[in-house]
Chain A
Amino acid sequence: MAHVSVRKVDIAFGTVSVLDQLDLDVQPGEFVVLLGPSGCGKSTLLNAIAGLLDVNRGQIWIGGRNVTWAEPKDRGIAMVFQTYALYPQMTVRENMAFGLKIAGLPRLEIENRVREAAAILQLKPLMTRKPAELSGGQRQRVAIGRALVREASVFLFDEPLSNLDAQLRNELRVEIKRLHQRLGATMIYVTHDQIEALTLADRIAVMKDRRIQQFSTPEKLYQQPANRFVAGFVGSPAMNFQAGVMERADGGMRFRSGAFELPVDVMAHTGTEVELGMRPEHILVGESEGQDEGGMPATVEMVEPMGAETLVWTSVAGLPFSVRVDQRRRLSVGQKVSLRFPSQEIHLFDRETGARL
């Protein structure tokens, strides 16, 4: 269990800056997920924490020690790679024991640790096999086992599950979660899978454009996205966005885009160009036009069944909105409905800066 702190770190490849003045503070025993689109620098940050990549500026602290110049093996970390990175010509047992052998641990100690990790990960029957003779899920388990035996205080995972099929992914996800509860170690986990992020994380750091956009709990991320990017990136199906302007009307504020008007609680200057954000699951669908007080008339344009729910594409005053409804709700194309936008679920973002209003 150790505190991990990344302080004002810059990393560039040649002239291309990848991380810029990045700060990240991970509490001891915390499970933090780095989430972000491809190429935003998640692996780069993880490699920097591991010591596999030098930083151009800034410091990295692990467990109260400045490890900016320390070798990976001296940082008290263990790492699991997306490509498994098992040594092909070593057996499962040798793979797991390799690091311990180099560290010069006594044979008995090595055997004990390997046996224990194998028991936790159910690798016992596979110990004498080579990686080529294992399935993808088994390989990833061995890779986790190899990290486990190091008894590190910080575990780093770089998209460990992205090469696996959906079912194995679910299984191993649960296994990793259980492992975290059992070990209590600090874990930093890279993914671009939202489900993984939301289910595993104590806190999620959403990255984009060389920076961390928001670092908070999954609930906060979902309920109060700090900016337009986070709002669009987190949540599935994605949030609806409509560009418009703020207006003052009968003592309150109003969002307007063409014929579409909506009273909002947010205070802003009249004429501010904003973007309205509304999650599909927060829009309420009334029976039909007129009957529903305060509803806006809408037309159903497309229906996408998604299992437990149905995504309904509607048009309100010429603007498209997707709405999530229970699959038992039977709606057909062309049908007139009324939509309500609860004001506590409305998000507004400055169109220029993208910041939440």
Chain B
Amino acid sequence: MAKLIQVTNLKKIFENGSETVHAFGPLSVDINIGEFVTILGPSGCGKSTLMLIIAGLLESTSGKVEFENKLVEGPKTDIGIMFQNNTLVPWRTVKGNIELQLELRKLSLEDYEDKVNDILKSVNLEDFAHRYPNELSGGMQQRAAFCQAMIHEPKIILLDEPLGKLDAMTREKIRADFQKLWMIKKPTVIFVTHSIEEAVQLSSRIILITPRPGKIDREMKIDLPYPRDLKLKRSAKFMEYVNSIEEVFHEYGVI
């Protein structure tokens, strides 16, 4: 498999005057084309920070990030990102928010008209295309934000706890939808979460991060067939993965 993203000895220390916070690192990770890699770790271990640095939106303290052997020196614009807090703007409708991504990227709204409708349909929001975000439930907002982040069809996708604020039922549903989408288009995904079950269900590989300052505890390949549906989630093998990860975090005293 071809290496797509290389993270080498990356470290981040925040300095606010005399106060310093060692967020994470140094850590190194390679991500291959078409992988679904989940970064799993306790709250505050630097997952969001790591993601921002990979996306070129934040400078690291030391170390480097490379995409296809090219050093990341500024914001990467050829990827899709979904931030921990959604980036829907209140002055545009759901559809308008999705189009905002296209407009900012100078993509033609006409060319993408069908795609906007399709992606809205795929998350069951077609009837809400002309509603404003504050008229939607939290789960619907998150689905709209997902459409906004994906509409330009990026081949590399970074998702920071996209399902974090959702109820258990909606979470389950969107996970399944998202897995379907990933199986069809096979983008490279970096997924941040602190749900162990979610990580095992979605990922081809999980990177376990220690409490702050986050370092890589271990990597775990998940050898389970896709699609990973409810039936598979009840299987012994699935539970085995979940249990072994729980044990790791139990040792750290996180759970």
Interaction A to B: no
Q: B: which residues have CB within 8 A of A?
A: none
Q: A: which residues have CB within 8 A of B?
A: none
